[in-house]
Structure 1
Amino acid sequence: MKKKKFKVSDYQSIDDCLNQMQQEGYRPVRRIEKPVFQEQQNGDPEPVEQDIVFQAIKQE
């Protein structure tokens, strides 16, 4: 079983990423969302964006 990760870029929608996976012959098995934080002036973290990564396996 061959695995590959696909990251949704800033200029791409989730559907675009899923279509890209399908065109390359992969299907998603897991979705991982990680928040990205930026430190404010007072030292508190502030969420600024969300990274979305799909783990996919090769279709047979």
Structure 2
Amino acid sequence: MRKRKEKQSDQPLKKKFIVGDHETLTQCLERMKREGYTPVRRTEKPIFRETSKGPACIGSQCILEGRRMP
């Protein structure tokens, strides 16, 4: 019978990190590294605002997905 590996910590295996308004991508990557995660995916979502002419894109939000480092 094989034994299951015990959890090394209470951190989740995957975690999403949102790049803040006044934060660079490099700063977010450093934050991920401090928390023990390595980036595996980058996603950008548009931010829309309703105007009199209809919805308008006013920017985008960068989301990094990290996987816990061994």
TM-score (norm 1): 0.89
Distance 2:44 2:69 in 1: 23
CA drift of 1:28 comes to 0.5
* Pick aligned residue for 2:67 from 36, 57, 60: 57
**Structure 1 partner of 2:17:** 6
| Higher percent of residues as strand | 1
Q: CA RMSD, aligned part only?
A: 1.2
Distance 1:17 1:47 in 2: 24
Q: Which runs of 5+ in 1 are unaligned?
A: none
Larger Rg: 2
Distance 2:36 2:48 in 1: 33
CA drift of 1:55 comes to 0.6
Aligned length: 59
Distance 1:4 1:36 in 2: 21
TM-score (norm 2): 0.78
- Identity score, percent: 37
- Runs of 4+, deviation exceeding 2 Å: none
**Structure 2 partner of 1:48:** 58
CA drift of 1:23 comes to 1.1
